[in-house]
Structure 1
């Protein structure tokens, strides 16, 4: 999947999750969702590898489940950089749930693109 396709999928995911879970996630506009997707991709590129290495032992002990905590932290960082007035989560638990859902959606879309 190309970079632009991932941005679009994440943007649509943010918008969809805002509609499905309005008390958990707030996105001001489609443009904000696109900017959040862009910031998320930058954080995934530079910050996530560092967090993954620092928490490698904990990730191994939890059989990889701690990765969702890292993803939730990255989402909360995205919210911080975009600004809580435009893009925010109700709690870390909400960010954790969104991280799990986004991981599943990205896995499905990536699998679909690799087949066709």
Structure 2
């Protein structure tokens, strides 16, 4: 039950981010938001930790700022895998990752 609630919260966060950020579009309805949330969560849970370990030297040299690039990469990879999810530009992907993170944290705190 907890996993379903987290996916729904993430889907709402994706909707908020897509609504407010120019350059991010989600077409296809509520199902697409759920799919984006699931795929993004999967990538962040399984692929991002591997990339984080592999890029430790770059992360250290950039004082951790390279982790933002990894967040953008996860958003781009999600957009590549889901045909109804489009992100135009690095800044849009970066803002998308920020908004999704903030909205998810706020909703988690409320729930």
TM-score > 0.5, shorter chain as reference: yes
Deviation at 1:24, TM superposition (A): 1.4
Counterpart of 1:90 in structure 2 is 88
Per the alignment, residue 74 of structure 1 pairs with 74
Query: C-alpha distance in 2, partners of 1:92/1:106?
Result: 21
Distance 1:58 1:5, change over 3 A: farther
**Displacement of 1:103 after TM fit?**
2.3
Q: Partners in 2 of 1:16 and 1:109 — Cα distance?
A: 12
Q: Hey, what does 2:9 align to over in structure 1?
A: 9
Distance 2:102 2:66 in 1: 15
TM-score by length of 1: 0.80
Tell me, which stretches of 5 or more residues in structure 1 are unaligned?
Answer: none
**Structure 2, unaligned stretches of length 5 or more?**
none
Which whole-Å CA distance do the structure 2 matches of 1:59 and 1:107 have between them? 24
- What is the RMSD of the two structures over their aligned residues, measured on CA atoms? 1.9
Secondary structure, counterpart of 1:64 in structure 2: coil
Task: Give the count of matched residue pairs.
Answer: 109
Find the counterpart in structure 2 of residue 25 from structure 1. 24
Task: Give how far 1:6 is off.
Answer: 2.2
1: distance between equivalents of 2:97 and 2:37?
13
1:100 Cα deviation (Å)? 1.9
3-state SS in 1 of match to 2:86: strand
Query: C-alpha displacement at 1:109, in angstroms?
Result: 4.0
Shift of the 104–57 alpha-carbon distance from structure 1 to 2, 3 Å rule, reads: farther
Whether contact under 8 Å (1:68, 1:100) holds in the other structure is no
**Distance in 1 separating the partners of 2:17 and 2:103:** 11
